[in-house]
């Protein structure tokens, strides 16, 4: 026991001071795409190489759907004029599905819950995580939020085992045909009012599985969604930032 205590003291305080300090992101991190339509020559190469049809070009104007985007960066690689560039911006969450469709440099990030909802969940939010056919990437980046580095619990947010003990759902995966009924039953088991968070391209649009007959193209086709967090998978700080925006937490 003494050895464990000594090791813990040696390690010191390990929780990163987010959101008071900007997160340390990996060198290869690709954040929010920046679209400069003034640079687009209409070659359509960016749309041709996109594996999820997230990019559309019409009349030399680019539209990029972050809900479909897997952040592979192929569009940026083929665009010699740099009309699409992936920034280092990690704040990607949106409150409406339509807000994820970028048509220029402006992006509307997620807003906080209504005052009545914030009064209920602002200091204590319990989430039931539902893996609705995911590949486990989004699930892994969600699980690490409970580790000392991110320490989701310091904001009053915790994952629980039962939907009956939850205030809402955090959904990953494209919602396969076999999971559709299970997801609906899980949602119905959460006491009202419920919050639903869709994490990752699959949960938002079906991702790389979009259009496949054995999945339902995301959570919104089964349950109402309050927060969309894009990525494939989203960085843990992107997920954490989205949840904190929902709870109107700006500092600690």
pLDDT (tens digit, 0 to 9) for every residue of the chain, 252 residues total? 788 888 777 777 789 999 999 999 999 999 999 999 999 999 999 999 999 999 999 999 999 999 999 999 999 999 999 999 999 999 999 999 999 999 877 899 999 999 999 999 988 999 999 999 999 999 999 999 999 999 999 999 999 999 999 999 999 999 999 999 999 999 999 999 999 999 999 999 999 999 999 999 999 999 999 999 999 999 999 999 999 999 999 877
Looking at the domain covering 115-246, what would its CATH class be?
alpha beta
For the stretch 11-36, pLDDT in tens is 777 899 999 999 999 999 999 999 99
Of 116, 104, 24, 95, nearest to 64 by C-alpha is 104
Architecture per CATH, domain 33-89, reads as: 2-Layer Sandwich (3.30)
Dihedral (CA of 22, 23, 24, 30) sign: negative
**In whole angstroms, what is the distance from residue 171 CA to residue 203 CA?**
6
pLDDT number for residue 126: 97
Domain with CATH 3.30.70.20 in the chain: 33-89
């Amino acid at each position: 026991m003494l050895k464990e205590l000594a090791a813990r003291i040696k390690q010191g305080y390990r929780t990163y001071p987010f959101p008071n300090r900007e997160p340390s992101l990996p060198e290869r991190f690709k954040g929010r795409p920046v679209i400069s339509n003034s640079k687009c020559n209409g070659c359509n190469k960016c749309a041709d190489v996109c594996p999820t049809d997230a990019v559309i070009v019409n009349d030399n104007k680019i539209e990029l759907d972050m809900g479909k985007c897997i952040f592979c960066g192929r569009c940026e690689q083929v665009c010699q004029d740099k009309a699409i560039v992936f920034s280092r911006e990690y704040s990607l969450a949106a409150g409406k599905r339509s807000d994820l469709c970028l048509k220029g440099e402006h992006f509307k990030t997620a807003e906080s819950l209504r005052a009545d909802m914030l009064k209920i969940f602002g200091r204590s939010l319990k989430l039931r995580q539902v893996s609705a056919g995911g590949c486990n990437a989004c699930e892994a980046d969600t699980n690490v939020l409970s580790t000392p580095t991110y320490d989701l619990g310091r904001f009053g947010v915790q994952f629980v085992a039962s939907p009956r003990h939850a205030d809402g759902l955090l959904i990953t995966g494209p919602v396969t045909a076999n999971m559709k009924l299970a997801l609906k039953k899980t949602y119905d088991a959460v006491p009202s009012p419920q919050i639903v968070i869709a994490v990752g391209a699959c949960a938002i649009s079906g991702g790389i599985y979009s259009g496949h007959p054995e999945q339902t193209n995301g959570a919104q086709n089964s349950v109402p969604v309050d927060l969309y967090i894009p990525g494939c998978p989203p960085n843990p700080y992107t997920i954490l930032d989205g949840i904190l925006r929902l709870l109107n937490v700006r500092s600690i």
